Structure 1
Protein backbone atom coordinates (compact mmCIF):
# COMPACT_ATOMS: atom_id res chain seq x y z
CA UNK A 1 0.00 0.00 0.00
CA UNK A 2 1.23 3.46 -0.88
CA UNK A 3 1.64 5.88 2.00
CA UNK A 4 2.11 9.62 1.70
CA UNK A 5 4.16 11.98 3.82
CA UNK A 6 4.11 15.74 4.24
CA UNK A 7 7.41 16.09 2.38
CA UNK A 8 5.99 14.65 -0.86
CA UNK A 9 5.25 17.21 -3.55
CA UNK A 10 1.76 17.89 -4.81
CA UNK A 11 2.98 16.65 -8.20
CA UNK A 12 3.96 13.31 -6.65
CA UNK A 13 0.65 13.02 -4.83
CA UNK A 14 -1.56 13.64 -7.81
CA UNK A 15 0.26 11.02 -9.85
CA UNK A 16 0.03 8.49 -7.01
CA UNK A 17 -3.75 8.06 -7.29
CA UNK A 18 -6.32 9.69 -9.54
CA UNK A 19 -8.60 10.55 -6.59
CA UNK A 20 -6.05 12.43 -4.50
CA UNK A 21 -6.67 15.72 -6.38
CA UNK A 22 -10.32 15.55 -5.26
CA UNK A 23 -9.21 15.14 -1.63
CA UNK A 24 -6.91 18.15 -1.97
CA UNK A 25 -9.62 20.25 -3.60
CA UNK A 26 -12.18 19.36 -0.90
CA UNK A 27 -9.65 20.60 1.64
CA UNK A 28 -9.45 24.00 -0.05
CA UNK A 29 -6.49 23.51 -2.39
CA UNK A 30 -8.14 24.68 -5.58
CA UNK A 31 -4.89 25.56 -7.32
CA UNK A 32 -3.46 22.06 -7.76
CA UNK A 33 -3.31 22.60 -11.51
CA UNK A 34 -0.98 25.56 -11.07
CA UNK A 35 2.54 24.67 -12.26
CA UNK A 36 4.09 26.20 -9.13
CA UNK A 37 1.94 24.08 -6.81
CA UNK A 38 3.24 20.86 -8.33
CA UNK A 39 6.67 21.50 -6.81
CA UNK A 40 5.39 22.40 -3.35
CA UNK A 41 5.35 19.80 -0.62
CA UNK A 42 2.08 18.83 0.98
CA UNK A 43 3.22 20.62 4.11
CA UNK A 44 4.10 23.84 2.23
CA UNK A 45 0.82 23.86 0.32
CA UNK A 46 -1.18 23.19 3.49
CA UNK A 47 0.56 26.06 5.26
CA UNK A 48 -0.22 28.48 2.41
CA UNK A 49 -3.89 27.48 2.52
CA UNK A 50 -4.22 27.45 6.31
CA UNK A 51 -4.82 23.70 6.42
CA UNK A 52 -3.41 21.29 9.00
CA UNK A 53 -0.87 19.22 7.06
CA UNK A 54 -1.10 16.31 9.50
CA UNK A 55 -4.88 16.08 9.06
CA UNK A 56 -4.57 16.21 5.29
CA UNK A 57 -1.84 13.58 5.30
CA UNK A 58 -4.07 11.35 7.45
CA UNK A 59 -7.06 11.84 5.14
CA UNK A 60 -5.03 10.80 2.12
CA UNK A 61 -3.47 7.83 3.89
CA UNK A 62 -6.87 6.71 5.19
CA UNK A 63 -8.23 6.86 1.64
CA UNK A 64 -5.26 4.86 0.30
CA UNK A 65 -5.64 2.25 3.05
CA UNK A 66 -9.35 1.91 2.32
CA UNK A 67 -8.67 1.57 -1.40
CA UNK A 68 -6.02 -1.09 -0.78
CA UNK A 69 -8.44 -3.06 1.41
CA UNK A 70 -11.04 -3.27 -1.37
Structure 2
Protein backbone atom coordinates (compact mmCIF):
# COMPACT_ATOMS: atom_id res chain seq x y z
CA UNK A 1 0.00 0.00 0.00
CA UNK A 2 1.20 3.49 -0.84
CA UNK A 3 1.55 5.69 2.23
CA UNK A 4 1.73 9.42 1.65
CA UNK A 5 3.73 11.36 4.24
CA UNK A 6 4.30 15.06 4.89
CA UNK A 7 7.93 14.72 3.75
CA UNK A 8 7.02 13.62 0.22
CA UNK A 9 7.24 16.07 -2.67
CA UNK A 10 3.95 17.21 -4.17
CA UNK A 11 5.18 16.54 -7.72
CA UNK A 12 6.25 12.99 -6.81
CA UNK A 13 2.79 12.21 -5.46
CA UNK A 14 1.15 13.53 -8.62
CA UNK A 15 3.53 11.47 -10.76
CA UNK A 16 2.36 8.33 -8.92
CA UNK A 17 -1.21 8.97 -10.10
CA UNK A 18 -2.39 12.12 -11.84
CA UNK A 19 -5.92 11.33 -10.69
CA UNK A 20 -4.93 12.66 -7.26
CA UNK A 21 -4.85 16.28 -8.50
CA UNK A 22 -8.49 16.99 -7.48
CA UNK A 23 -7.64 16.01 -3.89
CA UNK A 24 -4.98 18.71 -3.77
CA UNK A 25 -7.30 21.22 -5.43
CA UNK A 26 -10.14 20.52 -2.99
CA UNK A 27 -7.76 21.53 -0.21
CA UNK A 28 -6.78 24.79 -1.88
CA UNK A 29 -3.56 23.73 -3.61
CA UNK A 30 -4.34 25.04 -7.10
CA UNK A 31 -0.81 25.55 -8.42
CA UNK A 32 -0.17 21.83 -8.91
CA UNK A 33 1.73 22.30 -12.17
CA UNK A 34 3.97 25.11 -10.98
CA UNK A 35 7.72 24.62 -10.75
CA UNK A 36 7.66 24.92 -6.95
CA UNK A 37 5.66 21.69 -6.60
CA UNK A 38 8.74 19.69 -7.60
CA UNK A 39 10.72 21.13 -4.69
CA UNK A 40 7.91 21.51 -2.16
CA UNK A 41 6.92 18.81 0.31
CA UNK A 42 3.33 18.30 1.39
CA UNK A 43 4.17 19.89 4.74
CA UNK A 44 5.76 22.94 3.10
CA UNK A 45 2.80 23.38 0.74
CA UNK A 46 0.38 23.20 3.65
CA UNK A 47 2.32 25.79 5.63
CA UNK A 48 2.51 28.20 2.69
CA UNK A 49 -1.19 27.85 1.84
CA UNK A 50 -2.53 27.65 5.40
CA UNK A 51 -3.89 24.13 4.96
CA UNK A 52 -4.33 21.52 7.68
CA UNK A 53 -1.63 18.98 6.81
CA UNK A 54 -3.21 16.08 8.70
CA UNK A 55 -6.53 16.48 6.87
CA UNK A 56 -4.82 16.63 3.47
CA UNK A 57 -2.69 13.58 4.28
CA UNK A 58 -5.77 11.65 5.40
CA UNK A 59 -7.53 12.44 2.12
CA UNK A 60 -4.45 11.62 0.03
CA UNK A 61 -4.01 8.29 1.79
CA UNK A 62 -7.70 7.55 1.44
CA UNK A 63 -7.42 8.24 -2.31
CA UNK A 64 -4.43 5.96 -2.76
CA UNK A 65 -5.99 3.26 -0.58
CA UNK A 66 -9.18 3.37 -2.65
CA UNK A 67 -7.33 3.26 -5.97
CA UNK A 68 -5.20 0.36 -4.82
CA UNK A 69 -8.30 -1.56 -3.75
CA UNK A 70 -9.97 -0.87 -7.11
CA UNK A 71 -6.84 -2.06 -8.93
CA UNK A 72 -6.92 -5.35 -7.04
CA UNK A 73 -10.53 -5.92 -8.09
CA UNK A 74 -9.73 -5.51 -11.79
Normalised to the residue count of structure 2, the TM-score between the two structures is 0.86
Per-residue CA deviations over 1:16-50 (Å, capped at 9, x if unaligned) read 11111111011111111110122100000011111
Number of positions where the alignment pairs a residue of Structure 1 with one of Structure 2: 70
SS across alignment from 2:35: coil
Normalised to the residue count of structure 1, the TM-score between the two structures is 0.91
Which segments of 5 or more consecutive residues in structure 1 lack a partner in the other structure? none
Provide runs of 4+ in structure 1 moved above 6 Å: none
Higher helix share: 2
Aligned match of 2:8:
8
Structure with higher Rg: it is 2
